[in-house]
Amino acid sequence: MSFPIAVLVSGEGSNLQAILDTVHGRDGIEVVCVASSRAGARGLERARDAGVPAEAFEIGAYPGRDERDAALADWLEGHGVRLIVLAGFMELLGSPFIQCFEGRIVNVHPSLLPAFPGVGAIEQALAHGVKLIGVTVHFVDEGVDSGPIVLQEPVAVESGDTVETLHARIKGAEHRLLPEACRLFLAGRLRVPPEGRRVTVL
Contact 42, 122 (CB under 8 A): no
Q: How far is the CB of 119 from ligand GRF (least distance, A)?
A: 8
Distances (CA, A) of 37 to 12, 23, 86, 147: 12, 23, 11, 21
Q: Which residues are annotated as catalytic?
A: 109
- Closer residue to ligand GRF in complex, CB, 15/37: 15
- Closer residue to ligand GRF in complex, CB, 59/70: 59
Instruction: Please give the angle made by the CA atoms of 82, 86 and 87, to the nearest 5 degrees.
Output: 125
Q: How far is the CB of 69 from ligand GRF (least distance, A)?
A: 19
Q: How far is the CB of 90 from ligand GRF (least distance, A)?
A: 7
Contact 110, 170 (CB under 8 A): yes
* Contacts to ligand GRF by CB under 6 A: 9, 11-15, 87-88, 108-110, 171, 174
Contact 181, 148 (CB under 8 A): no
- Closer residue to ligand GRF in complex, CB, 20/100: 20
